[in-house]
Amino acid sequence: MTSPIRPLIEGYDFIRRECERRGTDCFELGVGPLTVTCMRGPEAGTVFYSDRFERAGAMPRRVRRTLLGEGGVQGLDGEDHHHRKALFLSLMTPDALDDLTTITDAEWDAAIARWQARHEPIRLLTDAAQVLSRAVHRWSGVPLAEDDVAQRTDMLHALIDTPARVGPRHWRGRRARSRADRWAADLIDDVRAGKLEPPAGRALHAIATHRTRDGQLLEPSVAAVELINILRPTIAIDRFIVFAALALVEHPQWYERLRTSDDAIEPFTQEVRRHYPFFPAAAAKVRTPFDWGGLHFPAGRLTLFDLYGTNHHPDVWADPDRFDPERFFDREIGPFDLVPQGGSDHESGHRCAGEWLTIAQINLALRVLTRRIDYTVPAQDLRVSHRRFPTQPASGLLLTDITTRTPTEA
């Protein structure tokens, strides 16, 4: 098969395995116009995240029709990208992130109270998504009625869950994208018409009033995509939270350390982001022809940078498949080595605008899981398929017997 999305279909280990088999960090796949170049590792990262590449039209259509939408920051280049990216980064100040942490903290407490009243197993993937959803709606200034929580969260979740699928599940993602785009565009219209007044500085207000470089408001459909670019990925942190909980199950020796030592929390979070598979690769097209790594890169060539493979590159990470938060205790993280959310820098490159937010949310969830509650992890299927994108423990991680710890126990 020479499809450009073969690496996505074949799973997280495909590029890494091919690199190891061929003894290189860079190889071509397919023939003729369908050829794709695949790369991994920090050195490849410096090439991939340079002006030799552009993002316009690089993402497969099926990913744009579900996960990303059309017209958003991910597909922009040069000054237009820089200007739009600044909008996202303006929402990520330390104060704004603290604010979201405080809001989410309260949502975890409310969720714990609901769990205890329920007396039945909770599925952490589902419940964490709802905690994050409630929090990010409030933080962004987007109304969310209690009765709409499950449905709205499902709609945004479907965008994450379906891009690389085929058949009915992919179409579920496409329908969710159309619904979400229409819903978010209506919100933008309401703000512009004065029918809805989100606080200044909140994402909904900032995006609805954002002006392009030539002073125009964003098209409502594009503003909708950018608003969803805040809501959707924040809810997607549920997967990292579930992987963090899985890591506690698989490496119980860390539990006590996290419970009692603040210093251990962030290294554990970073190792969760490095170790477990999430986004397999970033995609770009060659802007100007060049040669690198013994290969020619003609203009327009689709190129995939293996994020998961770079996080497991044996030249960068000792014993890369071992889960070991110790590696982050005294490590300075470079721009191209730990890349679960993209490489390079946040301002000028396409590195994830929500990376600090994500780290803060996983840190918080670890505190909740180790200090605020006790729980049992019953027998269940915790296998993580490397052929499903994006993947998760099969069960979604069920927890039972949830009780709150008293403050003296924490």
The end-to-end CA distance of the chain, in Å, is 54
Burial 58-70 (b: 16+ CB within 10 A, else e): bbbebbbbbbbbe
Among 26, 73, 218, 265, binds ligand HEM (CB under 6 A): 73
Among residues 309 and 340, whose Cβ is nearest to ligand HEM? Answer: 340
Closest distance of CB 406 from ligand HEM, Å? 32
Residue placing its CB nearer to ligand HEM in the complex, 42 or 340: 340
Residue nearest to ligand HEM (CB): 354
Q: Which of 162, 358, 370, 391 binds ligand HEM (CB under 6 A)?
A: 358
**Residue 104 sits in the site that holds ligand HEM (CB under 6 A):** no
Give the one residue of 357, 359, 369, 373 binding ligand HEM; rule: CB under 6 A. Answer: 357
Judged by CB under 6 A, does residue 58 bind ligand HEM? no
Minimum CB distance to ligand HEM smaller for 51 or for 263: 51
Out of 156, 223, 227, 282, point to the residue binding ligand HEM (CB under 6 A). 282
Closer residue to ligand HEM, CB minimum distance, 72 or 325: 72
Q: How far is the CB of 212 from ligand HEM (least distance, A)?
A: 16
Q: How many residues bind ligand HEM (CB under 6 A)?
A: 25
140: contact with ligand HEM by CB under 6 A: no
The nearer residue to ligand HEM, 73 or 188, going by C-beta atoms, is 73
Residue 353 touching ligand HEM (CB under 6 A):
yes
Report the nearest approach of ligand HEM to the CB of residue 366 (Å). 15
| Subset of residues 318 to 347 that bind ligand HEM, contact rule: CB under 6 A | 340-342
Determine if 277 is a binding residue for ligand HEM (CB under 6 A).
no
Residue of 88, 108, 254, 276 interacting with ligand HEM (CB under 6 A) = 88
Question: Can you give the three-state secondary structure of the chain, one letter per residue?
Answer: CCCCCHHHHHCCCHHHHHHHHHCCCEEEECCHHHCEEEECCHHHHHHHCCCCEECCCCCCHHHHHHHHCCCCHHHCCHHHHHHHHHHHHHCCCHHHHHHHHHHHHHHHHHHHHHHHHHCCCEEHHHHHHHHHHHHHHHHHCCCCCHHHHHHHHHHHHHHHHCCCCCCHHHHHHHHHHHHHHHHHHHHHHHHHCCCCCCCCCCHHHHHHHCECCCCCECCHHHHHHHHHHHHHHHHHHHHHHHHHHHHHHHCCHHHHHHHHCHHHHHHHHHHHHHHCCCCCEEEEEECCCEEECCEEECCCCEEEEEHHHHCCCCCCCCCCCCCCHHHHCCCCCCCCCCCCCCCCCCCCCCCCCCHHHHHHHHHHHHHHHHHHEEEECCCCCCCECCCCCCCCECCCCEEEEEEECCHHHC
Residue 230 binds ligand HEM, judged by CB under 6 A: yes
Applying CB under 6 A, among 74, 303, 370, 395 the residue interacting with ligand HEM is 74
Q: Residue from 65, 85, 312, 327 that binds ligand HEM (CB under 6 A)?
A: 85
Q: Is 393 in the site for ligand HEM (CB under 6 A)?
A: no
Interface with ligand HEM, residue 352, by CB under 6 A: yes
Could you give the CA distance from residue 320 to residue 310 in angstroms, rounded to a whole number? 10
Only one of the segments 173-181, 229-237, 327-335, 373-381 lies at the binding site for ligand HEM (rule: CB under 6 A); that segment is 229-237
Site for ligand HEM contains 237 (CB under 6 A) = yes
Stretch that binds ligand HEM, among 115-123, 194-202, 226-234, 249-257 (CB under 6 A): 226-234
φ/ψ of residue 303, rounded to 5? -130, 135
Interface residues toward ligand HEM, by CB under 6 A: 73-74, 85, 88, 229-230, 233-234, 236-237, 240, 278-279, 282, 307, 340-342, 350-354, 357-358
